[in-house]
Amino acid sequence: MLLLNNVEVTYSNVIQVLRGISLEIGDGQIVALLGSNGAGKTTTLKAISGLLRAEEGRVTAGSIEFEGRRLDKMVANEIAGMGIIQVLEGRRLFKHFTVEDNLKVGAHLRRDMSSIKKDIGLVYEYFPKLKELRHQTSGYLSGGEQQMVILGRVLMARPRMMLLDEPSLGLAPLLVAEIFEIVRRMNIEQKTSVLLVEQNAKAALSISNYGYVLENGRVVLDGTAQKLIDNEDIKQFYLGLSSVGERASYRDIKHYKRRKRWL
């Protein structure tokens, strides 16, 4: 469904962030993109969604294709019109709008008014709490409630593919589990493919079919979610566990040297 082939991204014609990454997402899959800060995860999402141009970034090599069409030659609104919707990090709501008005914004490319009303009801089925808060000003909601509004707004766009950037950021563990369960349901029930950028590797892999690990703008490891969960390097440096199940020493992590297959 989505294919990145040896993609390089440069900002301001000087700073190279992605250094030839390749990945693919099948129809109906959830794929996790893991890595530390600065690895290139968010840049990958923006390369797909067309938002690089707003930050003086551009794809300088390789190609990005969605069902055979070149996305790297399109602008952001064209890409959104194809059903590829990015959720930016940081719960970016229209904070002076009510919850329901924020949801309606998600349908701004649609003209089927009767279906829009029906889909608002669908959002409230996924997030019953939002129905109670539908007339509340969004800026006064808790972090978890705001993340629910964000996901509901995406659902209103009827996405074919969601690009989620750190949806668990700043949320309590119970809310993280709830949000990820909703993402999984949307994937199954709405047949929406998902590319999930997340530092919470355990939560991301728990709902994913496949995963990629980025370091310094390169894919250094990939495999099924279970394969990555079982990988000793992932356990130690992304899940914080040693090979015997004990917490890894961060003194050891500081002096970590990649194994040969990661080079």
The reported pTM is 0.85
Q: How much is the pLDDT for 32? A: 95
List the chain domain ranges.
Answer: 1-83+160-174+191-230, 92-158
Domain 1-83+160-174+191-230 matching CATH 3.40.50.300: the answer reads yes
Residues of the chain with pLDDT under 50: 244-245, 248-263
Euclidean distance between CA atoms 111 and 228, whole angstroms: 43
pLDDT of 207-233, one tens digit each?
Answer: 999 999 998 899 988 999 999 988 887
pLDDT of 78-98, one tens digit each?
Answer: 999 899 999 888 778 888 999
> How far lies 117's CA from each of 58, 113, 153, in Å?
38, 6, 13
